Amino acid sequence: MHLTRERSKLRLREFLQIGLITGALVLVMTQGLGFFAPKVHADSVPTGLPASPTCFAPNPCIQKFTQPMPRFDVLPRNAVSTLVPAPTAQANTTQQAVDPALGGGFGPIEGRPPGPIWAHQGFTLFPPQVAVEVTQEGAKINNVYNPGVPASLNSGINPATPFHPRFHPFAPDQGPLALWTFNGTLPPKLVIGRYAEPILFREHNKLPVNRAQNGGFGINSISTHEHNGHHGAENDGFTGAFFFPNQFYDYHWPIVLAGFSTINTSATDPNAGTPDDFGGKRNVAGDWHETMSTHWFHDHMFSFTSQNVYKGMAGMFNIYSAKDRGNEAINDGVNLRLPSGTAKSWANLDYDVNIMLADKAWDANGQLAFNKFDFDGFIGDRMTVNLVDNPFFEVEARKYRFRILNAAVSRFFKLALSDGSTMIQIANDGNLLPHPVPLTELDEIGIAERYDIVIDFSRYAVGSKVWMVNLTQQTNGKKPDKDLSLQEALAGSDNDPVVGKFLEFRIVRQPAVQDVSQVPDPLIPNPVLPAVTRSRTFEFGSGGSQTTTGSTSFTGPWGIKTDNQGDMLNADYGRITAGPNFGTTEQWTLKNGGGGWDHPIHIHFEEGQIIARNGSANNVPAWEKGRKDVYRLRPSGSVTIKMQFRDWGGMFMEHCHNTVHEDNAMLMRWEIDNGGSPFLRPLPTPISTPQGVTFVPPDDILPTAF
């Protein structure tokens, strides 16, 4: 290449032209084509995008309640011996050639950080007994759909019929760049697990090696958070422990009761148990008051969680126990006999239904669309349930349990039945409540929160219908606009298409077998935690600033101020913000410092108990009196919780689960401190590349961390 001096003399116009081309190329290379999507006013729905079309010729236009809601797709539980290569305590660093698009050279086959620090804690004590092997890949047709129930309990869906990756039969299939899911297919995936049966969850990254091949949003490096598992940090889906295309990551989920190392260690408490395969149970160590039930798992890639989860990287995980057996007939004085079924010893799904709520938007071609340039958040204009648009679900005239997950990016939902009749809330964030709470309108369910409810359809005549209704109008990612009355919501909202009916229950028959399920009181009382030894304060707000540079830090509008000291800091997963002592109980106050915004704050690893809202225990409603892992702050509000840090070590996170806020720097790292033994203090930060993971010292440790 040779340019003359004359030609190198650029005029301003040429300079700008080259600049525009260069900029455009860089944008396309780094962001995909979505950057150039048309923009409309920020407070319209969907955020910054044109309304999603509902007519795709030659199909009829999409109407609500014209397709069945699919049950989740139950992932196979295989023998661990089926995994090749066999799982190892430390990351498998066998080398492989790295695709040139990822920098070439050689790198490890497993993306988990290598060495003893990120080795599976308890791998010997809790060796994996079940293998669940998945991929993360672009959309394709599902030919192996397993709903876990017969078609009669899945609204007539024939699982043998290929299941297309589309939001409605009258909408086009999603392309492999638009929708990325576990195994690349719909419906969303469900893992079945039980206490004391450790799972090895092996995830293969089969996403495109070229980052620009993302349909406009999303990134091909991933980290999967088991929300909210009580296990070591190496299995938590730490935001900086991400892995790349052509790698896998072994997550070891031991499924243990919190306190197993100090409470009921001889496993003599009959309430602390796990179901066996023969209608009985066996005792396990730990505190049964810490029994968990409804988890989910989702991508947690640093600064890309909103895009990747929106793109489809989310599933659910039902955990069964002696208390929450998944069999409503077993009457042994321990089993709560919640609605589920009777055919199997445990984990009956007949009348136990996972529900994933997520608002979406799609472009003129019907492909999933997202606006990643509004840092308030993203609101979609199409309501999906289990990733299909406004479906119906056939039920028998009996009690059902619904495990409802808000998997939206920024939207809150407030749910009611269209006739205003009662639902009974039994769990919050995967934890059965101390007492069931009868409600006609659920509280606003924040992003990542899970509400388990029971609806008794026996009050309806066969042939009748009732609808689930969203009462909350929300037109931007900041917070809900307003909660409507049931009557108003049923009339719909001109400003927000997601207000109103979104799920039609069709009562199709009397129960095939007698409903023997119960909703007893009490359910699971709260654990008694040791006295608080330390208090910390975290203030979540805007105006964040950054004090560090490098690949672990990010600059964005959001931040967290710690212990009323210093600035509101942007996210840096190399910075240690808090280091609670192993085994101790701390009191954390989470404050909304951002005026009228709302932030649902998620704390990884340990469940907390809310002891005050806005400074008073009287402000804690009945449905928040159990254990939780997501804490809505509400505008100008605060939440005070207590948590015990025990059993496992490593680095974890705390962040806003409005994932746009999270991605734009409202996230911090904390880690367990044991004074240096057996855990390091502080832990080195993993730096992930396709060629391998290296470690660097933390680039910042806040003065009140340890």
Partner 1 sequence: MKMNRGTSRVVILSLLSGVLVLGSLFIANHPAHAQATATAATVPTVSSVTLQVSGSAPALKTGLSEAINFSGPLVVTTTVMNDPTMGPSVVVSLDGRGVKGTGSTTGTVYINECEANLSRPFGATDAIKTTFAFFEDKPGAYLNAKTALVTLNLTYDTATMKLTKVTGSVSTL
* Gap between the Cα atoms of 233 and 674, Å rounded: 14
Q: Which is nearer to partner 1, 199 or 630 (CB)?
A: 630
Token pair 């004359």 is found at 6
Q: Which is nearer to partner 1, 222 or 424 (CB)?
A: 424
Q: Using the rule CB under 8 A, which residue among 99, 173, 481, 699 binds partner 1?
A: 481
Residues 372-391 close enough to bind partner 1 by CB under 8 A: 373-376
Q: Using the rule CB under 8 A, which residue among 114, 218, 326, 594 binds partner 1?
A: 594
- Give me the least distance between CB of 540 and partner 1, in Å please: 11
Q: Which is nearer to partner 1, 53 or 557 (CB)?
A: 557
Are 251 and 224 in contact by the 8 Å Cβ rule? The answer is yes
- Give me the least distance between CB of 367 and partner 1, in Å please: 20
- Give me the least distance between CB of 422 and partner 1, in Å please: 4
Q: Which is nearer to partner 1, 56 or 304 (CB)?
A: 304
Q: Using the rule CB under 8 A, which residue among 5, 81, 277, 676 binds partner 1?
A: 5
Residues 600-659 close enough to bind partner 1 by CB under 8 A: 614, 619, 621-622, 634-637
- Give me the least distance between CB of 87 and partner 1, in Å please: 42
**Could you tell me the two tokens for 233?**
């940090």
Residues 12-31 close enough to bind partner 1 by CB under 8 A: 15-16, 18-23, 25-27
On the CB side of 292, how many CA atoms lie within 13 Å of its CA? 32
Only segment of 76-84, 306-314, 383-391, 417-425 that touches partner 1 (CB under 8 A)? 417-425
Beta bridge partners of 133: 202
Q: Who contacts 49 (Cβ-Cβ below 8 Å, separation ≥6)?
A: 37, 38, 39, 40, 361, 363, 369, 370, 371
Token pair 């999967």 is found at 224
**Is residue 482 involved in binding partner 1 (CB under 8 A)?**
yes
Q: Tell me how crowded residue 534 is: count the other CB atoms within 10 A of its CB.
A: 13
- Give me the least distance between CB of 5 and partner 1, in Å please: 5
**Is residue 583 involved in binding partner 1 (CB under 8 A)?**
no
Task: With CA atoms as reference, report the closest residue to 506 among 460, 469, 546, 551.
Answer: 460
Residue 643: what are its φ and ψ, rounded to 5°? -145, 150
> Three-class SS of residue 31?
helix
**Is residue 483 involved in binding partner 1 (CB under 8 A)?**
yes
Q: Using the rule CB under 8 A, which residue among 104, 438, 525, 550 binds partner 1?
A: 438
Q: Using the rule CB under 8 A, which residue among 99, 419, 563, 699 binds partner 1?
A: 419
Residues 491-520 close enough to bind partner 1 by CB under 8 A: 519
**Is residue 299 involved in binding partner 1 (CB under 8 A)?**
no
Task: With CA atoms as reference, report the closest residue to 691 among 303, 244, 248.
Answer: 244
* Gap between the Cα atoms of 676 and 126, Å rounded: 24
- Give me the least distance between CB of 359 and partner 1, in Å please: 17
**Is residue 486 involved in binding partner 1 (CB under 8 A)?**
yes
Residues 531-570 close enough to bind partner 1 by CB under 8 A: 541-543, 557-558
Q: Which is nearer to partner 1, 99 or 563 (CB)?
A: 563
Residues 48-77 close enough to bind partner 1 by CB under 8 A: none
Are 116 and 234 in contact by the 8 Å Cβ rule? The answer is no
**Could you tell me the two tokens for 418?**
């269209």
- Give me the least distance between CB of 441 and partner 1, in Å please: 6
Q: Using the rule CB under 8 A, which residue among 566, 596, 675, 697 binds partner 1?
A: 596
> Which DSSP category does 256 fall into?
-
Only segment of 204-212, 434-442, 604-612, 689-697 that touches partner 1 (CB under 8 A)? 434-442
**Is residue 162 involved in binding partner 1 (CB under 8 A)?**
no
Going by their DSSP bridges, the two strands 585-592 and 638-644 should be labelled as: antiparallel
The contact pattern for partner 1, residues 32-51, with x = CB under 8 A and - = no contact, is: ---x---x--x---------
Are 395 and 173 in contact by the 8 Å Cβ rule? The answer is no
Residues 441-480 close enough to bind partner 1 by CB under 8 A: 441, 443-444, 456, 472, 478-480
Give 439-500 as a 3 state SS string: ECECCCECCCCEEEEEEEHHHCCCCCEEEEEECEECCCCCCCCEECCHHHHHHCCCCCCCCE
Are 288 and 272 in contact by the 8 Å Cβ rule? The answer is yes
Q: Using alpha carbons only, how large is the chain's radius of gyration in Å? A: 25
* Gap between the Cα atoms of 499 and 298, Å rounded: 26
The helix (H) or strand (E) run that includes residue 588 is strand 585-592
Q: Which is nearer to partner 1, 251 or 400 (CB)?
A: 400
- Give me the least distance between CB of 418 and partner 1, in Å please: 10
Q: Using the rule CB under 8 A, which residue among 314, 437, 524, 630 binds partner 1?
A: 437
Are 409 and 309 in contact by the 8 Å Cβ rule? The answer is yes
Q: Using the rule CB under 8 A, which residue among 34, 229, 286, 593 binds partner 1?
A: 593
